[in-house]
Copies of this chain bind each other. A is one copy, B any other.
Amino acid sequence: MLRLSGERLTVVYRIRADSEAEAHARARDVCYEQTVEVPEDLPMREDIRAHVVGRIERLGPIGPAAFEAVISYAVEVVGPELPQLLNVVFGNVSLKHGIRVEAIEFPDGLLRHFRGPRFGLTGLREALGVWGRPLLGTALKPMGISPREMAELAYEMARAGIDLIKDDHGIADPPFCPFRERVPRCVEAVERANRETGRRAIYLPNVTAPADRVFERAELARRAGAGGLLLSPGLTGLDTLRALAGDDSIALPLMAHPAFLGGFLGSPESGIAPGVLLGQLLRLAGADATIFPNYGGRFAAFTREVCRAIAEATVRPMGSVRPIFPVPAGGMTLERVPEMVGVYGTEAVFLIGGALLRQRHRLAEAVRELYRAMGVPGPSA
């Protein structure tokens, strides 16, 4: 006889169906598919059917041929491991058409197994010593430049007043810009700028790497003096982010990049809502800041509403899991900064790549304009 706590994880699915009856059948299918994975009519111990099989809590229409099913799962079926949590939420049903994860509610009994972000909003601000304004970030690119050129760019960005200076996510360990060479150079460049400005900009090298190398690179970066790390959990697996955030010997702020995760965001009828995936789940996994394509940029699927939902998920109460920074990015221009402040407020990182490179000949001036656009005095140095 199973003895379970009674605590349950709740998932809201959007289900495509032509009738309430079909929606109900599909929702029941989700309950079985995500747990016992046998046909409903198969003989089964009664306690398993009662406690292990998912449970429909609510079901109702939300639009033409669209229903919302609220389904709960016993915490013991789901947790406390992140891969299994992802599996129960969306493992097999990801393979079915017309089922989308719209929301997840985590019970405390599950949340207490997750440490979440080590720094979060407040911790990252403390590390930088910056309060009362959005943070500014940029990416070191284009791929193809040498470690020396990259370090020079990092220096210029830190000197001009950028707070978070990250590797471009596409630069992992290419032969023309090896990790081991560029990381100490860029750290040194940003430290040199910091000595000159009195500020505390940080460099975040990209530790997205093979499964057996991520921690080695993170440790190299930490020893070199990097102030944070960049990871693409879509490429490494989300749990690698969790393991990295939980590693007390690394203990650096983590910025998550959404590369490859777009696979889950390609259709309004399937996949996982961006607020859940890039907001809730990456936060649960331990990102201190989550990058996502800003609306009006070059990623058309990310509307203002989608971006707001992601930002909202970064701060929504979630047990003891800290709030984190939303990081709108992708084709951000200097002119849009006032609008961005209106949408995201001050608790955001504005990640500006190409537009700053375009102003490289007058970078200090361009960044002063950014500060003015945020309604704050320019960088102090």
Contacts and interface: CB of A to CB of B under 8 A. Distances in A.
B42 A354 contact: yes
Given A81-B173, A144-B51, A263-B90, A243 B211 contact: yes
A172 B142 contact: no
Nearest to A272: B263
Contacts of A354: 37-39, 42
Interface in A19-47: 29, 33-39, 42, 44-45, 47
Is the contact region of chain A dominated by helix, strand, or loop, or is it mixed? Answer: loop
Interface string A182-215: 0000000000000000000000000011111100
Contact of A144 (B33, B48, B169): B48
A91 B264 CA distance: 12
Contact of A94 (B92, B263, B300): B263
B96 A300 contact: yes
A52 interface: yes
Contacts of A44: 142, 144
Contact count band on A: 35 or more
A77 interface: yes
Contacts of A346: none
A57 to B, nearest CB: 20
30 contacts: A34-B170, A35-B142, A35-B170, A36-B142, A36-B170, A37-B169, A37-B170, A38-B357, A42-B358, A44-B142, A48-B142, A48-B144, A51-B144, A76-B176, A77-B174, A81-B172, A82-B210, A83-B235, A84-B174, A91-B170, A95-B299, A95-B301, A96-B300, A97-B301, A211-B243, A237-B237, A237-B238, A237-B239, A263-B272, A266-B270
